[in-house]
Amino acid sequence: MKKVERINIIMRYINNRAHFTISEIMREFNISRSTAIRDIREIEAMGMPLVAEVGRDGGYFVMHNSVLPVVRFTDNEVKALFIAFMATRNQQLPYLKSRQSLAEKLLGLISENQQNDLVLLNQILLFEGTNPNNPDLLDLSDLPHPMLEKLIQTLLLDSYLLITIKEEKVIKSYPIYLLHLYNEKSLWLIEGFDLKEEKKQIFPVEHLTSVKPYPTKKRLSKKKILEKLSKQEEVINLVLELGPKAIAQFKKYHPLKVSISYTNPYQTTAILKTFINVNKPEELTEITNWLLFLGGDIKVREVPEEVLEGLQERLCLYCP
């Protein structure tokens, strides 16, 4: 790494910290003590306000309003940003209304040659979900639920929420501690710990009508929530061995809660262990369809009887 590039990165590194030591800089950037000290002195000379702390374990405090150089992107970084931007064009992501202004600002940061490269990339690259006859078209059906942005804004301030859900003309409110907000099969889902029922629940964002912080006095601590969840861990009842073809299918799509462990260094075989709630018809149907999607390159070690019956029924549909 060139000296100028290293100093630039060190400036950003220490600017994000209230305190740092020479030893930390040495380890982080794999440089000698003398080089680290010289770099810090140069950074001070450039105007970044640092206050030295005297003592054996002394370091530096970073004062507010530090001075950073203007952000510069390399050619490859610009292309990486633009391609990632294009690849998410037809996905249900929040803040899509800001897409045009983001694109304009990105173009304003780069040179004319870099702009020409991006125009060419825009012409030749197509991603899944893109209309080839009109690549700039963003289908309205691909826009996320309007409550998603409000939910995210509230989550940035607080994970304890009171959400209101409308299901089949019935409106219910749930006090929850949000565990995850995730996207699965083009749907945004809330995974939360129900503070009243004291159990994990899944709520579709599309059913959300209201979201606000939950009163502090009625909260259960995060530590107690995690303790209760650990005691409610479900017993594994589905165990599969996956071959290379099944692993390839798994990578294309798998339910969020399902993961695999590779059983050889070449990642051509793996084992899958999970819990299937056979008392939920929708989950039973989903897992049956997904197992058929994985294909024949699997060996069943353990499977619930209900899942096996579902697979047999589906396969019989194709019997002569």
pLDDT digits (tens, 9 = 90+) for 157-216: 889 999 999 887 889 999 999 999 988 877 889 999 999 999 888 899 989 999 999 987
**40, 55, 190, 204 from 48: Cα distances, Å:** 10, 22, 43, 47
> Cα separation of 24 and 13, whole Å?
11
Task: Specify the pTM.
Answer: 0.62
Q: Which of 173, 174, 164, 167 is nearest to 195 (CA)?
A: 174
The pLDDT tens digits for 272-316 are: 999 888 888 888 888 999 999 999 899 999 999 999 888 888 877
Domains in the chain, please, with CATH? 3-62 (1.10.10.10), 75-140 (no CATH), 147-231 (2.30.30), 238-316 (no CATH)
